[in-house]
């Protein structure tokens, strides 16, 4: 399983945490490690964490974030892994910003 696109990434997150872990570890070990750590901190599965990250990105990303995502996907060996890493980072930034307002 390689070279996933955004739609494939979303579908994978909906199917199986196990498949997601295997794929992301093979294609972006740093993102896989961050995903496992952050999901564990929240008591979420890795697939759930990523699904939320994708939803957050789609709902909240501005033009610059979308442009960065598309550029990262275009330039990456595995566009799906690049998208996953960007969306994970985006969710973490959103959460950090929301904690600043509490």
Is residue 48 situated within a structural domain? yes
Q: Give residue 17's domain range.
A: 6-100
Is 66 part of a structural domain of the chain? yes
Residues 6+ apart with CB under 8 A from 56: 87, 90, 91, 94
Q: How many domains does the chain have?
A: 1
Kindly state whether residue 68 falls inside one of the protein's structural domains. Answer: yes
Write down the pTM of the prediction.
Answer: 0.80
Region 5-24: mean pLDDT is: 69
Do the domain assignments include residue 1?
no
φ/ψ of residue 101, rounded to 5: -95, -5
Tokens representing residue 2 in the block: 């390689």
- Please check whether residue 49 lies inside any domain of the structure: yes
Task: Summarize pLDDT for 32-76 with one digit per residue, the tens.
Answer: 999 999 999 999 988 899 889 988 998 999 999 999 999 998 998
């Amino acid at each position: 399983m390689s070279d996933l696109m955004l739609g494939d990434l979303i579908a994978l997150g909906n199917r199986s945490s196990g498949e997601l872990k295997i794929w992301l570890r093979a294609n972006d070990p740093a993102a896989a490690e961050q995903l496992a750590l952050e999901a564990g901190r929240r008591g979420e599965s890795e697939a759930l964490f990523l699904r939320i990250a994708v939803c957050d990105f789609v709902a909240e990303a501005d033009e610059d974030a979308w442009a960065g995502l598309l550029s990262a996907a275009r330039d990456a060996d595995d566009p799906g892994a690049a998208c996953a890493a960007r969306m994970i980072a985006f969710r973490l930034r959103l959460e950090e910003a929301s904690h600043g307002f509490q």
